[in-house]
């Protein structure tokens, strides 16, 4: 029997497991293949929903579904996180001490925000990367009566659109509250434009100029002086704030660091085959890779589809049949009721269109359709 072990039941792991269950249905039925998914939680969180929690437009309870309910019945699922990767012996060992050997291993344990890595950020800045933080951000926005809001972005971070989306959504939130004239926005960004995607940066600059949003580029947050309410940048700027909104820097999961699989918790991964460097039978998906690509659910989704096809082909004919072309598709909320999107791959940059209400509705629909998407029904 061929054994595929998938570590991590988030966006990438769930899509891959269901994709394989569909492709390898006859082999699963004949007990020639087993797919085991090991994860750290019995709940699956729709993480993009956290952005809406921060504006009171979704409640935290709306973000979760039972992980088991999302999986094809032929998938063996255990809530038992992996502690040790013993790749020389083709096995992983879980926290409860169970050893799982494999023919193919897929690692997709995601990433986590790490505000603690910047002095003062965890204490003084709001963010939206955990349920508690998103709920707290909503409280801070509700209590804010005017002043200067500074937006800072750490590197690397998950979901490249969040810095812009937060800014646009705050703009509309305070407009609706009737106090926009009392709020000054000061958007900062690590590189020399407003977004890593050049065309998105150009588009955002036009919008910001029209909305009167101020900005400073080449700004990497170094520390926060909470007493003086000031942000210091690596580049030497000091900026005053009344409310600080952050996109914290991220790292891979502790288990990746503890097993020395990659600096920062990012596993060296071949961008085309998704194989871990130096390991033929180990693949990596989603946020956990070190591929210079957006850490986004859509990246994990497209990677999982390519890998599903390849793993099925490896099982059936012993070779891979396609490469991952770097496809990513991200919606961009441009306020409370307008959105656009960026679609790109390794070779082709995006050409964002002017935002429309229709695209915003697509995004709202996707917030619900996500569950069908991870089930493999879309």
Partner 1 sequence: MGTPKQVDARNSFCPGPLMELIAAMKMAEVGDELEILSSDKGSANDIPEWINKVGHALLESYEEAGIYHIRVRKTK
The answer to the question of residue 162 lying near partner 1 (CB under 8 A) is: no
Q: How far apart are CA 58 and CA 324, in angstroms?
A: 34
Q: How far apart are CA 4 and CA 13, in angstroms?
A: 12
Query: In angstroms, what is the minimal distance from the CB of 195 to ligand FAD?
Result: 14
Directed axis angle between helix 11-23 and helix 357-375, to 10°? Answer: 60
Binding site partner of 122, from ligand FAD, partner 1, none, Cβ cut-off 5-8 A by kind:
none
The answer to the question of residue 71 lying near ligand FAD (CB under 6 A) is: no
Binding site partner of 194, from partner 1, ligand FAD, none, Cβ cut-off 5-8 A by kind:
none
Binding site partner of 105, from partner 1, ligand FAD, none, Cβ cut-off 5-8 A by kind:
none
Find the binder of partner 1 among 350, 352, 355, 376 (CB under 8 A).
Answer: 350
Q: How far apart are CA 190 and CA 147, in angstroms?
A: 23
Mark out the alpha helices in 32-161 (DSSP H runs): 50-53, 121-124, 131-143
Cβ closest to partner 1, residue 14 vs residue 294: 294
Binding site partner of 298, from ligand FAD, partner 1, none, Cβ cut-off 5-8 A by kind:
ligand FAD
Q: How far apart are CA 116 and CA 126, in angstroms?
A: 13
The answer to the question of residue 13 lying near ligand FAD (CB under 6 A) is: yes
Which backbone phi and psi does 235 adopt, to 5 degrees?
A: -85, 0
Residue 282, H or E segment: strand 282-284
Q: How far apart are CA 94 and CA 80, in angstroms?
A: 6
- Can you give the C-alpha Rg of the chain in angstroms? 21
Read off the DSSP letter of residue 329: E
The answer to the question of residue 64 lying near partner 1 (CB under 8 A) is: no
CA 224 to chain centre: 25
Binding site partner of 253, from partner 1, ligand FAD, none, Cβ cut-off 5-8 A by kind:
ligand FAD
The answer to the question of residue 158 lying near ligand FAD (CB under 6 A) is: yes
Contacts of 122 (CB under 8 A, 6+ apart): 115, 116
Binding site partner of 289, from ligand FAD, partner 1, none, Cβ cut-off 5-8 A by kind:
none
Cβ closest to ligand FAD, residue 262 vs residue 297: 297
Read off the DSSP letter of residue 322: -
Binding site partner of 38, from partner 1, ligand FAD, none, Cβ cut-off 5-8 A by kind:
ligand FAD
Task: Restricting to residues 263-282, name those near partner 1 by CB under 8 A.
Answer: 263-264, 271
Cβ closest to ligand FAD, residue 54 vs residue 150: 54
Are residues 301 and 11 in contact, defined by beta-carbon separation less than 8 angstroms? yes
The answer to the question of residue 265 lying near ligand FAD (CB under 6 A) is: no
Site stretch for ligand FAD (CB under 6 A), options 155-163, 210-218, 319-327, 346-354: 155-163
Binding site partner of 197, from ligand FAD, partner 1, none, Cβ cut-off 5-8 A by kind:
partner 1
Q: How far apart are CA 284 and CA 47, in angstroms?
A: 20
Query: In angstroms, what is the minimal distance from the CB of 72 to partner 1?
Result: 32
Neighbour tally for 217: CB within 10 Å: 16
Task: Restricting to residues 175-234, name those near partner 1 by CB under 8 A.
Answer: 190-192, 196-198, 218, 220, 234
Are residues 24 and 33 in contact, defined by beta-carbon separation less than 8 angstroms? yes
| Core vs surface per residue 33-51: b (16+ CB within 10 A) or e | bbbbbbbbeeebbbbbbbb
**Residues forming the site for ligand FAD (CB under 6 A):** 7-13, 38-41, 47-48, 50-51, 81-82, 108-110, 128-129, 158-159, 161-162, 253, 255, 286-288, 295-298, 300, 330-331
Interface residues toward partner 1, by CB under 8 A: 155-156, 160, 190-192, 196-198, 218, 220, 234-236, 249, 263-264, 271, 292-294, 326, 328, 342, 344, 346-347, 349-350
């Amino acid at each position: 029997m061929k054994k595929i072990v998938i570590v991590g039941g988030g966006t990438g792991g769930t899509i891959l497991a269901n994709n394989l269950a569909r492709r390898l249905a006859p082999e699963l039925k004949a007990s020639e293949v087993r797919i085991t998914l090991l994860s750290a939680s019995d709940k699956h969180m729709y993480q993009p929903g956290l952005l809406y929690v921060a504006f009171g437009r979704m409640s935290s309870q709306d973000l979760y579904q039972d992980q088991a309910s999302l999986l094809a019945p032929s998938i063996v699922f255990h809530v038992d996180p992996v502690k040790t990767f013993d790749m020389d012996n083709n096995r992983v060992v879980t926290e409860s001490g169970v050893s799982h050997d494999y023919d193919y291993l897929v690692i997709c344990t995601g990433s986590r925000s790490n505000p603690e890595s910047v002095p003062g950020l965890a204490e003084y800045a709001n963010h939206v990367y955990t349920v508690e933080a998103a709920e707290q951000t909503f409280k801070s926005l509700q209590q804010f009566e005017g002043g200067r809001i500074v937006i800072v972005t750490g590197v690397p971070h998950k979901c490249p659109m969040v810095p812009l989306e937060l800014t646009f959504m705050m703009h509309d939130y305070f407009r609706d509250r009737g106090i926009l004239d009392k709020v000054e926005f000061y958007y900062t960004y690590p590189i020399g434009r407003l977004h890593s995607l050049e065309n998105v940066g150009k588009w955002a600059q036009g919008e910001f100029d029209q909305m009167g949003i101020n900005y400073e580029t080449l700004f990497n947050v170094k520390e926060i002086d909470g007493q003086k309410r000031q942000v210091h940048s690596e580049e030497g700027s000091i900026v005053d704030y009344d409310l600080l909104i952050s996109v914290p820097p991220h790292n891979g999961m502790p288990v990746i660091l503890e097993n020395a699989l990659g600096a920062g918790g990012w596993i060296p991964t071949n961008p085309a085959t998704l194989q871990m460097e130096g390991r033929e039978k180990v693949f990596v998906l989603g946020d956990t890779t070190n591929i210079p690509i957006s850490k986004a659910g859509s990246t994990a989704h497209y990677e999982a589809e390519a890998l599903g096809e390849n793993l099925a082909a490896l099982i059936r004919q012993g070779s891979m049949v396609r490469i991952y072309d770097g496809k990513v598709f991200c919606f961009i909320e441009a306020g409370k009721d307008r959105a656009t999107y960026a679609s790109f791959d390794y070779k082709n940059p995006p050409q964002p269109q002017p935002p429309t209400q229709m695209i915003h509705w697509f995004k709202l629909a996707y917030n619900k359709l996500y569950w069908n998407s991870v089930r493999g029904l879309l």
